[in-house]
Structures are given as structure tokens and as C-alpha cells.
């Protein structure tokens, strides 16, 4: 893992916390901090310029909220993985973030070593959610599944294989290698299976697939 493909930016309106996380990242030779921003607007601009591999984003910011910033980052077509870093352990906040396209959701009270480990997991394409919150997301998806009558019955064999890979926390690149198909093909299959299962994000699909025992 070299720093060339592991660039990070931090978007947070709390100067002390932002500095602390920035210093933590700066101390790890496998990661490279390429910028920090104190607001959503500034963060979106910075992300456009720096095109980082990973964005750590605060949820509750003054002005442009974390969710609005996340949506703006996705609309800008940036390929970065976005992980929410927040004090909120509210289930509604977690689900809103995941549905808006977040790749992870971590709590600010984590130990520094644990936070660094999760940042690296996220860079490898794995889903990162604070352990205490995993149950909340799974519970919400379980209730929704019953209401929507969601099942894997309509999926093709290839889509099922890809869903199992998602449940294992694999990125498109890793799935392509595992199934010996092009990365572009994986993207198309992921898009199709999300549509069939009525999920808005791959993280939701992954958590649901684990619940279904597909891993």
C-alpha cells in the first residue's frame, strides 16, 4: 500500500478536531493528507482540485450539512470514497448517510489506532461502519425488506455472485479480479442489482446480503 493511491482530505468545521485528524493521518507513512476544509462548500471545491482517494466528512456542519456536501460530491462525479466521521450515533443519521452514497460511517470517539485502521479498510474498498451501529442499519433494512418483499429471486447467477462479493466488502476492482471480468462490467451488474433490489447504495446492499447469509 503506497501513499500514491492513498490520498485523503478532511472536511470538518471544528478546527481542533480537524487538526487532530489531519495530524493523525500525517503521522502514517501509508497515507497522504492532501488538504482540509472547514465547510461543505470549501470541501467540494477542494475535492474537485485534489481528487483524493478518500474524503473524511463531518455530518453536522454549519451552513452546508454533511449530507448536502456528500450529495454535492456525488453529483460532481468524484470517484473518491466518502466516510462520514461524526458524533451522532442516531440510526436515522446513519441510514440517511448510507442512502446518500456514503461508503462508511464512523464515530469521532474511536481510538486513534482504530480510526487509522478503518481509514485504510475504506481505501481498500471495504465497508466501514462503527461496530456499535452495524445492528441499527441491519435492523432498518430487515424491516424494510419485509415491507418491500425484497428477495434475491430475480437476480441472475452473475448478479448473485457479485452481491456475495459486495457482502465480503470487496471493491469493483477486486470483484473484477475475483470473477475474471472487466471492471466496467462489474459496475453495470452492480447498478442492475441495486435497481432490482431497490437499494440506493452498495453499502445497503452489502449489509442486506450479509443478513441473508450470502457472504
pLDDT the model gives residue 146: 64
Checking if the pLDDT of 85 tops 80, the result is: yes
On whether the CB atoms of residues 174 and 168 are closer than 8 A, the answer is: no
Q: How far is the CA of 110 from the CAs of 9, 13, 118, in angstroms?
A: 19, 19, 10
87-110 pLDDT tens trace: 988 888 888 898 888 888 999 998
- 152 versus 24: the higher-pLDDT residue is 24
As a whole number, the mean pLDDT across the chain is 87
- Domains, in order of start, for the chain: 3-132 (3.40.50.2300), 150-211 (1.10.10.10)
Determine the 3-state secondary structure of 105 from DSSP.
Answer: strand
Contact status, residue 186 vs residue 179, Cβ threshold 8 Å: yes
47 Cβ contact list (under 8 Å, min separation 6):
9, 11, 55, 73, 76, 78, 80
pTM score, whole prediction: 0.75
More confident site: 12 or 150: 12
Pick from 47-61, 142-156, 198-212 the range whose average pLDDT is largest.
Answer: 47-61
Mean pLDDT of 124-129: 80
pLDDT band per the 50, 70, 90 thresholds, residue 1? very low
- In our burial notation (b when 16+ CB lie closer than 10 A, e otherwise), range 76-90 reads eebebbbbbbbebee
- 45 contact partners, CB below 8 Å, separation of at least 6: 37
Question: How far apart are the C-alpha atoms of 53 and 41, rounded to whole Å?
Answer: 19
What mean pLDDT is predicted for residues 161-170? 88
Model pLDDT, residue 159? 93
Nearest CA to 125 among 172, 157, 79?
A: 172
Instruction: Please state whether 107 falls in left (phi above 0), alpha (psi between -120 and 50) or beta.
Output: beta
Location of C-alpha cell 456536501: 69
**Between residues 43 and 145, which one has the greater pLDDT?**
43
- Kindly list the distances between the CA atom of residue 7 and the CA atoms of 1, 95, 210, in Å, as whole numbers in the listed order: 11, 26, 29
Cell of 174: 477486486
Q: Confirm if 98 and 130 have CB atoms less than 8 A apart.
A: no
Question: In this predicted structure, what is the pLDDT of residue 136?
Answer: 76
Answer yes or no: is pLDDT of 24 > 90: yes
Asked if pLDDT for residue 168 goes beyond 90, the answer is no
**Cβ contact 70:111 at 8 Å:** no
pLDDT exceeds 70 at position 45: yes
Amino acid at each position: 500500500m503506497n501513499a500514491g493511491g492513498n490520498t485523503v482530505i478532511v472536511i470538518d468545521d471544528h478546527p481542533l478536531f480537524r487538526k487532530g485528524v489531519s495530524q493523525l493521518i500525517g503521522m502514517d507513512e501509508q497515507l497522504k493528507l492532501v488538504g482540509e476544509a472547514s465547510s461543505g462548500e470549501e470541501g467540494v471545491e477542494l475535492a474537485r482540485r485534489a481528487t483524493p482517494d478518500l474524503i473524511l466528512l463531518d455530518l453536522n456542519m454549519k451552513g452546508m450539512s454533511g449530507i448536502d456536501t456528500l450529495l454535492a460530491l456525488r453529483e460532481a462525479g468524484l470517484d473518491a470514497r466518502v466516510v462520514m466521521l461524526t458524533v451522532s450515533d442516531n440510526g436515522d443519521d446513519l441510514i440517511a448517510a448510507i442512502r446518500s452514497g456514503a461508503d462508511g460511517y464512523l464515530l469521532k470517539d474511536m481510538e486513534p489506532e482504530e480510526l487509522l485502521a478503518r481509514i485504510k479498510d475504506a481505501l481498500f474498498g471495504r465497508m466501514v461502519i462503527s461496530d456499535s451501529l452495524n445492528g441499527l442499519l441491519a435492523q432498518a433494512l430487515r424491516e424494510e425488506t419485509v415491507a418491500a418483499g425484497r428477495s434475491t429471486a430475480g437476480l441472475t447467477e452473475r448478479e448473485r455472485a457479485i452481491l456475495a462479493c459486495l457482502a465480503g466488502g470487496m471493491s469493483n476492482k477486486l470483484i473484477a479480479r475475483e470473477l475474471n471480468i472487466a471492471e466496467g462490467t462489474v459496475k453495470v451488474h452492480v447498478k442492475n442489482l441495486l435497481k432490482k433490489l431497490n437499494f440506493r447504495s452498495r453499502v445497503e446492499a452489502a449489509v442486506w446480503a450479509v443478513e441473508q447469509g450470502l457472504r
